[in-house]
Structure 1
Amino acid sequence: MDATEARNPVGVLLVHGLGGTQYDLGSLHKILKRAGVEAHTLTLPGHSGKPEDLLDVRAEDWVDTVEARYRELAAQHETLHVVAMCLGSLISVEALKRIAQPSGKLVLLAPPVFLDGWATPWYWIFRHIVYRIPYFARGMKIAEEEPFGVKNDLVRSIVKAKFERGDDFHYPWVPLACIKQVDRLRRWVARGLDAIRSPTLIIHAREDDLTSPRSAEFLVREMGGMARMVLLENSYHMICVDNDRDQVAIEMLRHLDLDASVVKVRSRARG
């Protein structure tokens, strides 16, 4: 038996968010392994070093990378699911539009089709003007600030301490020029959603500080019968590490037809 034949018939591709790493998805990698599937990660272009690496990355680079990784893994598994967080959700949607016959299902976690969460500053709309001035767009830094997308006080304090120590788990800022690429991708995703062939679960927090539930509602409506939504009641944007993380894992496993009993449910946390 060769290496290909020996592989698990079911695989999952995990796609992280902007400025992040696989840690954006919390314990989902380990949980999927306990459920008996092979979990794969990738590093999006511009995310393997420092924030400045994002300056010359284009949205096309992200989509091409995820599409190529999907096709590579699809040749190794009978069924390949995709689970993606934040920006990774948008990239995955756009990449899967190109796949005529996907073998698995899709899970979108906090997809930011609209940047309209409660923490979005009123002046954010003016970023489109700054985009036209390349020098400022490349030099302006969009910093990670409290609440860091986390409602749980303990987890938020841990995240803050990691930033203060300079831990290599998430970029402390991204250039505004990179947000321009996110905006380009958001526009692409909003079109042609009927091309998605994968049964899709969208998990979104009602109190998401970056992107309101309008994003999830839009995707469900435009995907028609291919998508359904689960709203979380006790988290902000980073739903894989926040108060509802156990529910996120359980909903994901059920959607992928996997054993949800592998999730070790904690007592309900309070934000």
Structure 2
Amino acid sequence: MEKASNSVGALLIHGLGGTQFDLGSLHKILNRAGVQTHALTLPGHGGDPTDLLNVSAEDWIDAVQAKYREIVDQYETVHIMGMCMGSLLAAELAKRERHAKGRLVLLAPPVYLDGWSTPWYRHFRHLLYAIPYIAQRIRVEEEEPYGIKNELVRRIVKSRFAKGDSFHYQWVPLAVVRQVDRLRNWVRQSLEHIGCATLIVHAREDELTSIKSAYYLQKQMTGTTVNVVVLENSYHMICVDNDREQVAVCVLEHFMLDPAHARRADRQRSAS
């Protein structure tokens, strides 16, 4: 297959219940930097939360592998990046494909579900999985703070939920969290087989998954260099929260691109 003229591509993977919104402006920023971005809607997403009841972790990894194989020969360099559950899929993809054609970025990887706002029943969820009738009917709701520390952005998200906007599911069935747990178990195995340079970005105050996840991955990924960046002013949704510009700068620098492309649109307009 003929390679694209810009020779650099990137596969961006959204999180559970999400869409490309999970990654904020990173698609546009990378495009400005000369990177052709690619995305996919994961199985069970883009419709109704009940669509997730018939989806397995195998479906997700099969989908990202298919997308990766579709684009990998089109570029000299291909980077992989994921947000939340998408970062778990990105890590597993890099491992299974022995990815060596570009770099890896893991944004808020939930290796552990141990953040300060996780539901009380998180410790008992494995018992509930054993009762399919219950696991399919328990709803894990998206509630304030919606993974966002910035109050203005949080109000915007709350308004979009109220309008029924399809940018993110308002809840997911507990049964699908079992599939995320299965994915988390896969990721923890053989992490030394990931050989591409990796950046992990994680908020210290992440309410879903503590900083322990980032440091666990860094320790176990012995086959490559791993840089961890800790954000001090965000919750889980780091691509749209207070530190979003820092996230973009770190990603661009990791991809060896000019970090000036991370400047916000309003700052660019005022400079013109």
TM-score, with length taken from structure 1 = 0.95
Alignment check: 8 A CA contact 1:67 1:96 kept: no
Secondary structure in structure 2 of the residue aligned to 1:97: helix
Give unmatched runs, 5+ long, in structure 1: none
Secondary structure in structure 2 of the residue aligned to 1:254: helix
Secondary structure in structure 2 of the residue aligned to 1:89: helix
Q: Partner letter of residue 226 of structure 1?
A: T
5 Å-filtered alignment, 1:166-185, equals 166-185=164-183
For residues 111 and 6 of structure 1, do their structure 2 counterparts lie closer, same or farther at Cα, with a shift above 3 Å needed? closer
Q: CA deviation at 1:254?
A: 0.1
5 Å-filtered alignment, 1:186-205, equals 186-205=184-203
Give the corresponding residue for 1:153.
Answer: 151
Counterpart check, 1:250 vs 2:241: no
Alignment check: 8 A CA contact 2:18 2:168 kept: yes
Give the corresponding residue for 1:45.
Answer: 43
Give the corresponding residue for 1:59.
Answer: 57
Alignment check: 8 A CA contact 2:141 2:170 kept: yes
For residues 153 and 74 of structure 1, do their structure 2 counterparts lie closer, same or farther at Cα, with a shift above 3 Å needed? same
Q: Any idea what the Cα deviations from partners look like across 1:49-82, whole Å, max 9, x if unmatched?
A: 1111100100011111111111111011111001
Q: Where in structure 1 do 4 or more consecutive aligned residues deviate above 2 Å? A: 3-8
Q: CA deviation at 1:97?
A: 1.1
In structure 2, C-alpha distance between the alignment counterparts of 1:176 and 1:57, rounded to whole Å:
12
Secondary structure in structure 2 of the residue aligned to 1:211: coil
Q: CA deviation at 1:246?
A: 0.1
Q: Partner letter of residue 100 of structure 1?
A: R
Give the corresponding residue for 2:230.
Answer: 231
In structure 1, C-alpha distance between the alignment counterparts of 2:4 and 2:105, rounded to whole Å:
26
Give unmatched runs, 5+ long, in structure 2: 268-272
Aligned residues: 265
Deviates more, 1:97-106 or 1:193-202: 97-106
Q: Partner letter of residue 168 of structure 1?
A: S
5 Å-filtered alignment, 1:71-150, equals 71-150=69-148
Q: CA deviation at 1:4?
A: 2.8
Q: Partner letter of residue 230 of structure 1?
A: V
Alignment check: 8 A CA contact 1:7 1:76 kept: no
TM-score, with length taken from structure 2 = 0.94
Q: Partner letter of residue 153 of structure 1?
A: E
Alignment check: 8 A CA contact 1:64 1:95 kept: no
**Pairwise CA RMSD:** 1.4
Secondary structure in structure 1 of the residue aligned to 2:97: coil
Alignment check: 8 A CA contact 2:15 2:86 kept: yes
Q: CA deviation at 1:168?
A: 1.1
In structure 2, C-alpha distance between the alignment counterparts of 1:198 and 1:144, rounded to whole Å:
34
Counterpart check, 1:262 vs 2:266: no
For residues 86 and 6 of structure 1, do their structure 2 counterparts lie closer, same or farther at Cα, with a shift above 3 Å needed? closer
Alignment check: 8 A CA contact 1:137 1:175 kept: yes
